Structure 1
Amino acid sequence: MERAERLKKVPPYLFAEIGRRVRELRSQGVDVISLGIGDPDRPTPDPILRELLRAVQDPQDAARHRYGGDNPVFAFNEAVAEWYQKRFGVELDPATEVLQLMGSKDGIAHLPLAFINPGDVTLAPDPGYTVYRAGTLFAGGTVYSLPLLAERGFLPDLEAIPQEVSRRAKLLWLNYPNNPTTAVADLAFFRRAVEFARQHGLLLCHDIAYGEITFDGYRAPSILQVEGAKEVAIEIGSLSKPYNMTGWRIGYAVGNAEALAALAAVKENMDSGILRAIQFAAVAALRGPQECVEQMKTLYRRRRDLVVETLNRLGWRLEKPKGTFYVWAPVPEGYDGSISFASALLERAAVVVTPGVGYGEYGEGYFRISLTLPDDLLQEAMARLERALTL
């Protein structure tokens, strides 16, 4: 069966490929430990689960099993707005400046359909989350890669973008704390990005999925803290990472009302919304005690320290990242790139790491380790890695 040309332009989804390889090896009896996909191993906190169970069984809610898009829980929009005010000091109109998403990936994938015409350009970080690129290609657009280089702190050089590219650009994606590089950005960088978007008449889209996974006193800013940012920017967030809700598929987009209305128009034709019980549970997460988030940060900080200290003992010179639940490290000498290194670890140690080239051309020469697996497995993975690299 002949596939559409648009599908041929999009490479296989990196994490799906990793998952298939892991399942294949495990079916052969290999005891594989995967440090590839960032999917929290701890359960969703009990207060959120209790609210889910209450809402899904609520006899007073006649719409509890009906389409969530036709029966939205406006309290979720209000809770997001309240959380932004408390966390960032940013005021949002819950009716026009907050949009429910079926996870952040939903918004990232569908946004180009609202703004990209064939031949239009999306400016996307490289290395970066692969959906920035895939969403644009599905919409018929072109992706211009913004190199994230170590010597620039993995921040893009917006001034280096050729004028002929910026004239055709409609979207600019940023993501801090950054996946996969773990880099962080300050408000000064965000101010420059907002000004760039204003000068070139494009929509700035900031993915803040890892905004609450930060360490050592660092707190990630929102791009909407920049004065005038709502004129040119939206921010996409998720409950997946801070509340261990990856499978629940709920997130939000906030900011420019016109952009959110356009994205909502796409979604109205693509999905039917989120189960009301999940929306109520998300309200409980945002409005409830946040000790669970602090506990997760403590857990990931401990795991981060274990991985960084192990790698540094083996000859790396890594600084401990201030954000995300990943470690991003250069491939050691003696390997023909990141795929070669990842393949060698899989063969020698039955440990999966993600090759950096999977995130883009400028990710070559690096690999990523995820911290989202139980402590004992992470310790075993580090022991295997140490044995494999000191043979």
Structure 2
Amino acid sequence: MTDTRENDPNKFNDTPNIDAPAIDMPITDPVPEPFAVKFASRVERLPPYMFGRINNLLYQKRRAGDDVIDMGMGNPSDPPEQVVIDKLMTAATDPTNHGYSKSNGIANLRREVTKKYERKYGVTLDPEHEVISCLGSKEGFSHMCLALMGPGDTAMIPSPYFPVHMYGVILASGNVVSLDVADPDLFLRNVAYTCEHMAPRPKILIVNYPHNPSSAVIEPDFFVEVVRLAKRYGFLVIHDFAYADVAFDGYKPPSFLSAKGAKDVGVEFTTMSKGYNMAGWRVGFCAGNADMIRGLGTIKGYYDYGMFQAIQIAAIVALRDTEEAVEKQSLIYQGRRDALVSGLRRLGWTVNPPKAGMFVWAEIPEPWKSAMSTMDFAMKLLEEGNVAVSPGSGFGQGGEGFLRMSLVENEQRLRQAVRQISKCLSSPPAIVKA
């Protein structure tokens, strides 16, 4: 029989035909599996945002045209001094200010910070090695945690806590031990007890006075003991001094760095958000231990190029020329504090007037405190009274039973808020919580 492939050029070619499909193509594509985004474990450790319910309702009410008196966030409503705004506008017209800036801040701004520390606290700082500018103190604090902490490291923090003091540590893969902040002496004893009984010992102590949210304050000898304990037990100290410039009735918040030996063991964060009314400008500083400052600078060097240089130039003017205005701003907050505290007391609330800060920390009155959670009580004030406050539980379990009320509204609005709260609570609660 004749081989019909005799003249076929592929007769002895075993190479497969690559143009032919290996399998029959499906007529329709398979149903795809849902595409899942897997977050890092540090993000998975974060709880749901505690103020989400309140913020959503506040947004909805304002969109509907409701006039909500907002005492929830410590967001200053007063503007910076005009001389500062004018300097910003002038600096912004200079083309040389629009390039990348140094991540640790321009030299003249750091020098101005050292002058304020010398003038106000008697503290001498090296502007080159002991001061660094931050994009607000919150950014600086978070990045300092990244510089110092890792898996297995523990920080001692105040309770109740400002959220970044807890979650800045968690995002750096650290652990936290929270200590009651109400009694300064008890707080210090608990620091010593924790260091004595915990292995390995905590690496960092985070303190925050004047305290947010509770407005607790301390005297200078407190920091003397903090330094002594730090040297005895080998921990580092981070002091969040965000409310350094807002104080009442002659009280002067002490700087951690004014304690002898403080620069050996720690740093202090300050900000221009509060007393200078520059919250949205994001100008903060870290000062103190040169090694800790260098570590923060290393992290920041990988993350950012510093703040807009025109803002830094305007901040120099604010630090140099507006201290009198900062003192006047404290008097404005003091008047608001008095209006709110006196109004709540007339309603029968137990409220201690704060000596510093931008908040009133108010215990929820009975029978409401026993009838519902702090979150539900805050939601009631917003839903029925058009008054927004921060539930204490948003600052940890230590804040349950309290509300944080900010002093950013004017006195007239705060008095109106008290009237609306009174009307909202005119009928006693019918359900007692379990």
Task: Bin the TM-score by the shorter chain.
Answer: over 0.9
What are the Cα deviations for residues 330-360 of structure 1, in whole angstroms up to 9, with x where unaligned?
A: 1112232311221221222021111111111
Structure 1 residue 243 and structure 2 residue 276: aligned?
A: yes
3-state SS, counterpart of residue 177 of structure 1: coil
Q: Following TM superposition, by how much is the alpha carbon of 1:100 offset from its aligned partner in structure 2, in angstroms?
A: 0.6
1:267 paired residue number? 300
Structure 1 residue 138 and structure 2 residue 174: aligned?
A: no
Indicate conservation of the 8 Å contact 1:80/1:286, yes or no. Answer: yes
1:82 paired residue number? 115
What are the Cα deviations for residues 63-101 of structure 1, in whole angstroms up to 9, with x where unaligned?
A: x00112269421000000000000000000000000010
Change (3 A) 1:337 1:250: same
2:333 paired residue number? 300
1:122 paired residue number? 155
What number of residue pairs does the alignment pair up? 388
Amino acid at match of 1:389: L
1:376 paired residue number? 412
What are the Cα deviations for residues 221-277 of structure 1, in whole angstroms up to 9, with x where unaligned?
A: 101111111000100000000110000001100000000000110111111211110
Structure 1 residue 387 and structure 2 residue 418: aligned?
A: no
3-state SS, counterpart of residue 228 of structure 2: helix
Identity score, percent: 38
- Mapping of residues 1-391 of structure 1, within 5 Å: 1-14=37-50, 18-58=54-94, 62=96, 64-69=97-102, 72-149=105-182, 157-161=190-194, 163-165=196-198, 167-334=200-367, 335-391=371-427
Q: Distance in 1 between matches of 2:41 and 2:360?
A: 36
TM-score by length of 1: 0.94
Indicate conservation of the 8 Å contact 1:331/1:367, yes or no. Answer: yes
Amino acid at match of 2:418: M
Amino acid at match of 1:247: G
Which deviates more from structure 2 when the two are superposed, residues 36-45 or residues 23-32?
A: 23-32
3-state SS, counterpart of residue 126 of structure 2: coil
Q: Distance in 2 between matches of 1:216 and 1:154?
A: 25
Which deviates more from structure 2 when the two are superposed, residues 28-37 or residues 285-294?
A: 28-37
Unaligned runs of 5+ in 2: 1-36, 428-434
Q: Following TM superposition, by how much is the alpha carbon of 1:153 offset from its aligned partner in structure 2, in angstroms?
A: 8.5
Q: Distance in 1 between matches of 2:188 and 2:392?
A: 17
Change (3 A) 1:70 1:121: closer
Indicate conservation of the 8 Å contact 1:351/1:381, yes or no. Answer: yes
2:6 paired residue number? none
Q: Following TM superposition, by how much is the alpha carbon of 1:318 offset from its aligned partner in structure 2, in angstroms?
A: 2.3
Indicate conservation of the 8 Å contact 1:153/1:183, yes or no. Answer: no
Change (3 A) 1:238 1:66: same
Change (3 A) 1:216 1:263: same
Change (3 A) 1:49 1:11: same
Indicate conservation of the 8 Å contact 2:61/2:68, yes or no. Answer: yes
3-state SS, counterpart of residue 205 of structure 1: strand
Change (3 A) 1:27 1:153: farther
Q: CA RMSD in A?
A: 2.0
3-state SS, counterpart of residue 46 of structure 2: coil
Unaligned runs of 5+ in 1: none
Amino acid at match of 2:190: D
Amino acid at match of 2:137: S
Structure with larger Rg: 2
What are the Cα deviations for residues 35-57 of structure 1, in whole angstroms up to 9, with x where unaligned?
A: 10000001111111111111111
TM-score by length of 2: 0.85
Indicate conservation of the 8 Å contact 1:121/1:165, yes or no. Answer: no
